Amino acid sequence: MNRQRSSVRSRGSSSTTTSDPREKVKDCCRKFIAFMCTQVGVGGLIVVYALVGAASFMSIETQEPNPLIEHVENLRRNCAAELWDVTEQHNLFNSSIWHLEADIVLKRYQDDFAEAIRKGYDGRHPEEVWNFPAALMFCLAVFTMIGYGNMVPRTAWGKGATVIYATFGIPLYILYFMNMGKVLASTFKWLYTWLHECSHSQDDDMNIEDGSGVPQKKRIIVPTTACLWVISIYIATGTIMFAEWEKWTYLDSAYFCVTSLCKIGIGDLVPGANILDSQSGKPTKLVINFVYMLLGMGLVAMCYILMREEVRIKMQEIKEDTRLCLEDMSAKFAKCFGSSKESQYYD
């Protein structure tokens, strides 16, 4: 009877816990977090994070007009009015005085215009600067730590949002960088091993261990040259793509690809701002540019992991060869000294 009561209680408690909505919510949250830590979840999360960030920065930066635009327009109106006043006063009576007064007005306008350019005036309204392609590339430059610098937030809300966006985006990108590098490294290693086994016979891949007559299979590692070939082909693909879409030279395109994938981020060449197809309902180029940058950084992480593995294995081999060499030298020295001692004993 006691056993039956205990079993009934356990069933009742288990049924209450499973039927508890709070437990269901907790279980769903745990499953969601576990999925987000996977490669697919991190990749999708960083894409959504970039899209939400681009829409947010567009909304923040286009709410307030740029005061420099109105300031330059006032400078032009005042300059035109002053030139008209000078023309009315001196043009019909004394041309030399008119030239002198007009030069003074134009020199003042030139100095004021140069000062406005130093403060950031480029002739574009916020809606033209913060279009969706440019905002997306800005978000990519923030959480990947490239920092092109061609676009900067102008408003106080935009600067504060950039700080918060980078605080949460950089750890997310590091998680993506590590996961994507591991996935690509394991995939490329499997592909290289398969190609190696197809191109070589099984006898060539067998190695006899020291001290045992049982042949064992050689350990296949991805060489550094294969990683360099992959990165070179990827950079060449990006060079052709950006040269065709952005109307850059091939040297400028290769220069942009290398500086971006290496996270130098000089910022003199940035795609996205010149892609007008994304504003007319054709965001294909924008998506491909964004995917190219993320996948390229994953390839950089893959090459780093594979090169590190090769260096570690080479160092182990050097260490083992050094140990065997030292053992061989010590055995030769021992044999030599032992034979000399025996000859002295017989003498």
- pLDDT confidence tier of residue 336, bands split at 50, 70 and 90: confident
* Selection from 59, 50, 46, 64 nearest residue 131 by Cα: 59
What are the start-end ranges of the H helices in the chain? 2-19, 21-36, 39-61, 67-90, 95-118, 126-129, 132-143, 156-199, 224-246, 250-261, 284-346
What pLDDT digit, counting tens, does each position of 36-67 carry? 556 667 778 888 999 999 999 999 988 888 88
Q: Which residue would you say has higher pLDDT here, 189 or 24?
A: 189
pLDDT given for residue 1 in this prediction = 47
- Of residues 188 and 4, which shows the higher confidence score? 188
User: Global pTM?
Assistant: 0.70
In the numeric block, which tokens belong to residue 223? Answer: 């060489």
**pLDDT tens per residue across span 146-178:** 888 888 898 899 999 999 999 999 998 988 888
Max avg pLDDT among 140-149, 228-237, 273-282:
228-237
- pLDDT: which is higher, 84 or 343: 84
**279 has pLDDT over 60:** no
Higher pLDDT, 335 or 218: 335
Query: Is residue 245 scored above 90 in pLDDT?
Result: no
- Helices 156-199 and 284-346: angle between axes, nearest 10 degrees: 60
**Confidence band of 212 (pLDDT split at 50, 70, 90):** low
Range in 44-53, 84-93, 202-211, 299-308 the model is least confident about: 202-211
In angstroms, the CA 250 to CA 258 distance is: 12
Task: Select from 158, 327, 25, 69 the least CA-distant residue to 33.
Answer: 25
Residue owning tokens 């937030």: 153
What's the mean pLDDT when you consider all of the chain? 78
pLDDT of amino acid 42? 79
Secondary structure letter of residue 208 according to DSSP: E
238 falls in which pLDDT band (50, 70, 90)?
very high
Q: What pLDDT is attached to residue 126?
A: 82
Tell me the range of 69-78, 101-110, 209-218, 235-244 where mean pLDDT is highest: 235-244
Let me know: does 69 contact 125? Beta carbons within 8 Å: yes
Q: How far apart are CA 140 and CA 1, in angstroms?
A: 67
